[in-house]
Chains A and B, each alone.
Chain A
Amino acid sequence: MDVDPRAVAAAVRRTDSASDERIAVDCPEPSPLHDAVGCIRPEMGLRTRTALARAGRTRGLETPYDEELRETRRELDAIAVETEPLESHRERVTEAEAAVEQARIRAAEARGRVRERSESGLDPAPAESELDDALQTLSEAETDAIAARQAYERDRRRQRERRDRRERRFRLEERVANLERQARSHLVDRLRDEFRGVLSRVPGATVTDEPAEPFEVDSVTAALAVAHLGDISAPVVVGIDRFGSAVAASAWLEAPVLYI
């Protein structure tokens, strides 16, 4: 059967997209580490530092930033940002005020016609009734515009309150991101030497000795090293030919393997 390793990995991760209907995998919930190195194939990409930090987490490593991180995330969750859109009335107020302008012009014209007819000795009555209508329309348009303006102002005030909340949220998000960066680099620092040491032992690695730039090695070698260092319980999809067998792959990764 010809299957794409990515489709198998999608089945392991139970993501709907890119999954192959022929495949179903019943297995433990994949960890964030599995997201990074759970599908090893020749053309894979890898953010090695991030993956290495995740491997450290699977081994229960902690950082001095964890407590603040948990607290900040809790604070962040507590601030709800409204998803319900706020009707801003921008369009309504513009249209209502334009309608008033129009009605004003029409009323002035009607008034002009009444005057004209009177001055030229004609019966002003027909023009007068037209003027009454125009004035009635104007008064309605004005009422409407006042209501629209009030709604607009009220929503501007509500927008401002919502933005205050967004501002607080934004700052917390920034703090979380900073703490995550710090925690990650703490974990990477702790695991750097171990990672460097394991690289030359990775099956099929072209790396000899301990490379000076361990994060520059090819993605497959890095992924195999990271997966070896971390604890993985969901099956790793292996789509490369560096191992002779599924057993050999499983022995290196110390994890269940789907060998393709």
Chain B
Amino acid sequence: MLLVIAYSREARQSLRNVCRSHDESVIRRFGRVALFEATEFGAFQALRLREKHGEAIQLEQTVPFNEFESVRPDVREAVAAYEDRETPFLPYEQFQTGSDLPSPTEMKERDLPSG
């Protein structure tokens, strides 16, 4: 999908207008953020906004997130273990201390494979 973010009041107004008149190409709109369908027409509308408002429009293309593809098993195991904890207010940092689970620092240092 195409992620469109407006950074000015004028850009937000244009985004609203596009969303209103091209409902079928817009998957979702939240205030001044919208997701356009990844078609040439979605791109056409998104690029029109950037042509008009320059840097006040940010465009990104999103990809589906598959944790089995992008995240190593340790992280997924940490998620399951932490969600299953018995003390609800225990921060993850402490929860993982002394275990084999990855630390927040370690996870922060590892980028996900891009794409």
Instruction: Tell me which residues from 4 to 25 in chain B have a Cβ below 8 Å from any Cβ of chain A.
Output: 7-9
Q: Which residue of B lies closest to A176 (CB)?
A: B9
Instruction: Tell me which residues from 158 to 196 in chain A have a Cβ below 8 Å from any Cβ of chain B.
Output: 159, 162-163, 166-167, 169-170, 173-174, 177
Chain A positions within 8 Å of B58 at CB level: 159, 163
A86, A159, A162, A173: the one contacting B8 at CB < 8 Å is A173
Instruction: Tell me which residues from 31 to 57 in chain B have a Cβ below 8 Å from any Cβ of chain A.
Output: 54-56
A86, A170, A173: the one contacting B55 at CB < 8 Å is A86
**In whole angstroms, what is the CA distance A170 to B56 when docked?**
10
**In whole angstroms, what is the CA distance A47 to B59 when docked?**
36
A244 proximal to B (CB < 8 A): no
Number of A-B contacts (CB under 8 A): 24
Chain A positions within 8 Å of B54 at CB level: 85
- Count of A interface residues, CB-CB < 8 Å: 13
**In whole angstroms, what is the CA distance A163 to B11 when docked?**
13
**In whole angstroms, what is the CA distance A169 to B8 when docked?**
8
- CB A179 to nearest CB in B, in angstroms, measures 14
Q: Which residue of A lies closest to B56 (CB)?
A: A166
Chain B positions within 8 Å of A167 at CB level: 7
**In whole angstroms, what is the CA distance A166 to B56 when docked?**
8
Q: Which residue of A lies closest to B54 (CB)?
A: A85
Contact with A along B50-88 (1 / 0, CB 8 A): 000011101000000000000000000000000000000
A85 with B55: CB separation less than 8 A:
yes
Chain A positions within 8 Å of B55 at CB level: 82, 85-86, 159, 162-163, 166
Chain B positions within 8 Å of A169 at CB level: 7-8
- CB B108 to nearest CB in A, in angstroms, measures 18
**In whole angstroms, what is the CA distance A162 to B7 when docked?**
11
Cross-chain pairs A/B with CB under 8 angstroms, 22 sampled: A82-B55, A85-B54, A85-B55, A86-B55, A159-B55, A159-B58, A163-B7, A163-B55, A163-B58, A166-B7, A166-B8, A166-B55, A166-B56, A169-B7, A169-B8, A170-B7, A170-B8, A170-B9, A173-B8, A173-B9, A174-B9, A177-B9
